């Protein structure tokens, strides 16, 4: 039975006099009990499509459709009252980040109870039952807690519990695992698979092809507001017809042999760095960093971490959120003083220096942050952003523009961006500018803290290729921090796995990924969704 039928859906946003067509003629249907995945990069219109199905497209949106039917009911002319009947009972919505999707002032139990359509006295039992059903341990206790007291995984479970509370026959999940660590993501995906097994249809919105691969019966690929390709998941991922689908698949680092390019379609080999190990540029020796807790006491964010990074080498640092990898980055950058151990830069003391003495040496170590937008002064144009470090090292004023252009050229940008402000750049351009700025003083080492996590997969591919090229060209070493094992595997020579402030395993990347010794590394690797296509019906 066809549960949801959408024909020629168009969503236009009006902003002032401008009209932006976010969704431009999309048609699909979802059968009862099946999972349809809509995959696309940011701005493809996939989230707008999802929200339109529950009547939450947002202010300034104009929705048109040839057909928009759910369980035989026309959704096109529903008033607020009609939508309330459909939402929850007919269609449940699960959003990306449960921390902002749950009311911070109410307990999880109250939040779920609200979604239940029944007498108050029966609610308590049902809430506990639901929490149990979505795999929340100790539901009695959890129901009394507030969202911020729960871990990300538990919050997402609670959110799913509230979405399924009224027994919807369709669950719309908009990037349900994007904000989660990989091991937690695996649990949530398993939970969604369970819901599907009990007969709930799923509309899964995601940017991640691998997430979709294990769960979806059918997959639709969206780009610029239209579906460019759709069909059984096995076919779309295994034998893509549309060039864009092929490009997307090619850009996924995990699906690639190391040492090949991710962007540009062909699997061309990238230039590899000199294989002779160079001098150590960064040495962490037994670094410990302790943070005082608000309620008194302290917590070791980083405990006894040692690592050596040699010239021209890329060391990948992986770990889940809270593992202390960003703290390591800040200690390495000399932004935080370690409470124990020391850091050496190019064989000389670094962490032990006073800031005044450290400042002249800062030109040897550059940094690229996750969110380039927030790491630029919003008022400054690109030229000023890239030139700032040149001013610090006393580069002659007359020559700065030439040098800025040279740096921009190295990261694949032209003079056209010189006068633009950060907000006027695309995500990929911003990260290129960030890299140009980091390279400006001629560093021996780049510290990259989740540099591609905020980027779409095709842009991520370009930035990863750029980093590889720069390493080969300039011989710059990199401390590359990421939660994404595929990315780290693709780029790094060595890898260190962090958990709860400690490095649990480290070694050459191929060894660690092929034969992990520590159980946590194995657990991490197992949790990564794979782009192997599972024939529908045999899915777990």
Partner 1 sequence: MTMVDTTRRVPRVPAAGVVAAGVILAALLVAVLVPDRLAAGPDEVDPLIALRPPDGTHWLGTDQLGRDVYARIVHGARISLVTGVAATALAVVAGTLLGLLSALGGRLVDEVLMRAVDVLLALPGILLALLVIAVLGPGPVSELVAIAFAAVPGYARMIRGQALSVRRADYVTSAVAVGVRPIGLVWRHVLPNSLGPVLVLATLGTGSAIIIGSSLSFLGLGPRQPTPEWGAMLADGRDFLSTAWWVGVFPGLAITVTVVAVTVLGRRWQRRFEGLR
State yes or no: residue 172 binds partner 1 (CB under 8 A): no
State yes or no: residue 78 binds partner 1 (CB under 8 A): yes
State yes or no: residue 82 binds partner 1 (CB under 8 A): no
C-alpha dist (Å) from residue 494 to 326, 344, 445, 528: 18, 19, 15, 19
Q: Contacting partner 1 (CB under 8 A), which of 20, 64, 151, 277? A: 64
State yes or no: residue 376 binds partner 1 (CB under 8 A): yes
State yes or no: residue 63 binds partner 1 (CB under 8 A): yes
Closest distance between partner 1 and the C-beta of residue 60, in Å? 6
Closest distance between partner 1 and the C-beta of residue 433, in Å? 12
Cβ-based nearer residue to partner 1, 109 or 372: 372
* Contacting partner 1 within 325-344 (CB under 8 A): 333-335
- Residues whose CB is less than 8 angstroms from the CB of residue 430 and which lie 6 or more positions away in sequence, other chains included: 372, 373, 376, 422
C-alpha dist (Å) from residue 99 to 32, 151, 208: 30, 9, 21
Q: Per DSSP, which regions of 193-241 are E strands?
A: 201-206, 218-223, 226-232
CA distance 193 to 171: 12
Closest distance between partner 1 and the C-beta of residue 369, in Å? 6
Helix axes 108-115, 152-164, angle to 10 degrees: 20
* Among candidate residues 262, 311, 316, 277, the one with its CA nearest the CA of residue 469: 262
Closest distance between partner 1 and the C-beta of residue 447, in Å? 8
Cβ-based nearer residue to partner 1, 40 or 422: 422
* Contacting partner 1 within 342-371 (CB under 8 A): 359-360, 362-363, 365-367, 369, 371
CA distance 123 to 47: 32
State yes or no: residue 394 binds partner 1 (CB under 8 A): no
Q: Contacting partner 1 (CB under 8 A), which of 2, 20, 42, 58? A: 58
Closest distance between partner 1 and the C-beta of residue 240, in Å? 32
Closest distance between partner 1 and the C-beta of residue 65, in Å? 8
Closest distance between partner 1 and the C-beta of residue 507, in Å? 29
State yes or no: residue 437 binds partner 1 (CB under 8 A): yes
CA distance 472 to 158: 47
Number of residues that bind partner 1 (CB under 8 A): 40
Cβ-based nearer residue to partner 1, 62 or 241: 62
User: Which range of residues in 73-81, 117-125, 187-195, 253-261 is near partner 1 by CB under 8 A?
Assistant: 73-81
User: Which ranges constitute the DSSP H helices of 87-135?
Assistant: 98-101, 108-115, 120-133
CA distance 72 to 27: 16
Q: Contacting partner 1 (CB under 8 A), which of 31, 224, 346, 388? A: 388
CA distance 107 to 7: 40
Decide: residue 485, CB within 10 A, 0-12 exposed, 13-18 middle, 19+ buried. Answer: buried
User: Which range of residues in 58-66, 124-132, 292-300, 472-480 is near partner 1 by CB under 8 A?
Assistant: 58-66
Provide the residue count of the chain.
Answer: 540
Q: Contacting partner 1 (CB under 8 A), which of 294, 296, 378, 414? A: 378
**How does DSSP assign 396-463, residue by residue?**
-GGGHHHHHHHHHHHTT--GGGTT--GGGS-HHHHHHHHHHHHHTT--SEEEEESTTTTS-HHHHHHH
State yes or no: residue 396 binds partner 1 (CB under 8 A): no
User: Which range of residues in 53-61, 112-120, 401-409, 487-495 is near partner 1 by CB under 8 A?
Assistant: 53-61
Tokens of 252: 């996924």
State yes or no: residue 59 binds partner 1 (CB under 8 A): yes
Closest distance between partner 1 and the C-beta of residue 366, in Å? 8
Dihedral sign, Cα of residue 346, residue 349, residue 350, residue 353: negative
State yes or no: residue 442 binds partner 1 (CB under 8 A): no
CA distance 327 to 338: 10
Residues that bind partner 1 in the complex, under the rule CB under 8 A: 14, 55, 57-66, 75-78, 333-335, 359-360, 362-363, 365-367, 369, 371, 374-379, 388-389, 392-393, 437, 441
């Amino acid at each position: 039975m066809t549960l949801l039928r959408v024909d020629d859906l168009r969503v236009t946003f009006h902003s002032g006099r401008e009209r932006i067509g976010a969704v431009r003629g999309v048609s699909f249907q979802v059968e009862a009990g099946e999972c349809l995945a809509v995959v696309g990069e940011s701005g493809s219109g996939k989230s707008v499509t999802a929200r339109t199905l529950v009547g939450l497209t947002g202010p300034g949106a104009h929705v048109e459709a040839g057909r928009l039917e759910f369980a035989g009911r026309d959704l096109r002319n529903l008033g607020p009252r009609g939508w309330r009947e459909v939402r929850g009972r007919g269609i449940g919505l699960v959003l990306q980040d449960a921390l902002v999707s749950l009311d911070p002032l109410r307990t999880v139990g109250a939040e779920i109870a609200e979604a239940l359509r029944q007498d108050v006295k029966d609610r308590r039992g049902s809430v506990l039952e639901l929490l149990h059903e979505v795999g929340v341990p100790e539901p009695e206790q959890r129901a009394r807690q507030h969202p911020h007291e729960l871990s990300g995984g538990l919050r997402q479970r609670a959110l799913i519990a509230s979405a399924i509370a009224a027994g919807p026959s369709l669950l719309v999940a908009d990037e349900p695992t994007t904000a989660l660590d990989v091991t937690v993501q695996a649990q949530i995906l398993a939970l969604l698979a369970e819901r599907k097994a009990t007969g709930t249809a799923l509309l899964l919105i995601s940017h991640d092809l691998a997430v979709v691969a294990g769960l979806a019966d059918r997959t639709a690929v969206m780009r610029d507001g239209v579906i460019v390709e759709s069909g059984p998941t096995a076919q779309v991922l295994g034998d893509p017809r549309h060039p864009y689908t092929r490009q997307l698949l090619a850009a996924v680092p995990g699906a690639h042999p190391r040492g090949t390019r991710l962007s540009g379609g062909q699997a061309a080999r990238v230039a590899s760095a000199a294989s002779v190990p160079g001098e150590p540029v960064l040495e962490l020796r037994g670094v410990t960093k302790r943070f005082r807790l608000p309620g008194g006491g302290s917590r070791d964010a980083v405990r006894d971490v040692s690592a050596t990074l040699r010239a021209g080498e890329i060391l990948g640092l992986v770990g889940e959120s809270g593992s202390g990898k960003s703290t390591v980055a800040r200690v390495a950058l000399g932004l935080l003083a370690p409470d124990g151990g020391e850091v050496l830069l190019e064989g000389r003391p670094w962490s032990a220096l006073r800031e005044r003495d450290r400042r002249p040496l800062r030109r040897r170590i550059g940094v690229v942050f996750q969110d380039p937008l927030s790491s630029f002064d919003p008022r400054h144009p690109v030229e000023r952003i890239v030139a700032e470090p040149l001013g610090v090292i006393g580069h002659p004023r007359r020559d700065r523009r030439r040098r800025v252009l040279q740096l921009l050229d190295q990261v694949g940008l032209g003079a056209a961006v010189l006068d633009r402000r950060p907000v006027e750049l695309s995500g990929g351009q911003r990260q290129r500018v960030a890299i140009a700025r980091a390279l400006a003083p001629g560093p021996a080492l780049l510290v990259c803290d989740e540099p591609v996590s905020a980027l779409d997969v095709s842009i991520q591919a370009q930035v990863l290729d750029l980093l590889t090229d720069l390493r080969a060209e300039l011989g710059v070493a990199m401390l590359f921090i990421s939660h994404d094992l595929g990315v780290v595997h693709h780029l790094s020579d060595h890898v260190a796995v962090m958990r709860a402030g400690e490095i649990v395993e480290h070694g050459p990347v191929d060894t660690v990924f092929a034969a992990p010794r520590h159980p946590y590394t194995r657990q991490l690797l197992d949790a990564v969704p794979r782009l192997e296509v599972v024939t529908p019906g045999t899915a777990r």
